[in-house]
Amino acid sequence: MSLAGLFPIDKWNFKSASILNNLPGDEYAYLCSNMLEQRYSKGEVIFREGGAASGIFFVKKGKVKKYKVDKAGKEQIIYVANAGELIGYHAILADERYPDSAATLEESLIAFIPKEDFLGALEKSTVLPRRLLKTLSHEFTVLTNSISVFAQRSVKERLAITLIVLREKFKAETLPGEEIMINISRSDLANMVGTGNENIVRFLTEFKAAGVLTTLGKKICINDIRELIKLSGCGNE
């Protein structure tokens, strides 16, 4: 079921999947000339906050969480990247160290593009700079909205919003006719919502009792997206 007209998904979900799509052949070839692919196990760290930015990463398969860690060691997940998206490019553009960490949520295939190749392609391309500028502008809008609105929402509403966004993420890799299964640990879900595991378990149980969703192990299936949108308090914003 499409969220069009029901929920403003673009206010909550940004993606960089379009950055490399249909680049001129020579530009794409230059960008990928020294690309190295690597398979990552679930939970494996790709880069850490504060690490020297030596290149960007292209998610070819799987899902990656971007997160920050507070002084107590607790994660705050900022974003989940899908296959086709780029991560790590903010640090290269700013000529700074990685501002956050990234780790796989599931077994993934990640391609590494060296910093020199990315910057070289950026200089040669007439398309890539415009796409990056558009993507960065949209990401800023989404993050600003997330910070301001999440601060005013209850844990239940934040969980509902997060489940809606995750449903769209997992929908991208679900075959037509199949149920969309959100496959994420309760701790990662708690770190996205910004609460404790006990609250996540309590509200998931409440949503399940109301028929909004069903669970199979750690997998979550949304049965009533319209009701979930009502619970989020964001319908038709």
* Residue-by-residue pLDDT tens, the chain, 237 positions: 557 667 777 777 766 667 888 888 999 999 999 999 999 999 999 999 999 999 999 999 999 999 999 888 889 998 899 998 999 999 999 999 999 999 999 999 999 999 999 999 999 998 999 999 888 888 888 787 777 777 789 999 999 999 999 998 898 888 888 899 999 999 999 999 999 999 999 999 999 999 999 999 999 999 999 999 999 988 655
Q: What are 65's two structure tokens?
A: 């969480």
Report residue 142 as tokens. 């989404």
Torsion sign, CA atoms 121, 126, 132, 133: positive
Cα–Cα distance, 147 to 188 (Å, whole number): 18
Cα torsion through 60, 122, 77, 153, rounded to 10: -120
CATH class of 9-147: mainly beta
> Where in the sequence of the chain do the CATH 1.10.10.10 domains occur?
153-232
- Tell me the whole-structure pTM to 2 decimals: 0.87
Instruction: For the domain made up of 153-232, give the CATH fold.
Output: Arc Repressor Mutant, subunit A (1.10.10)
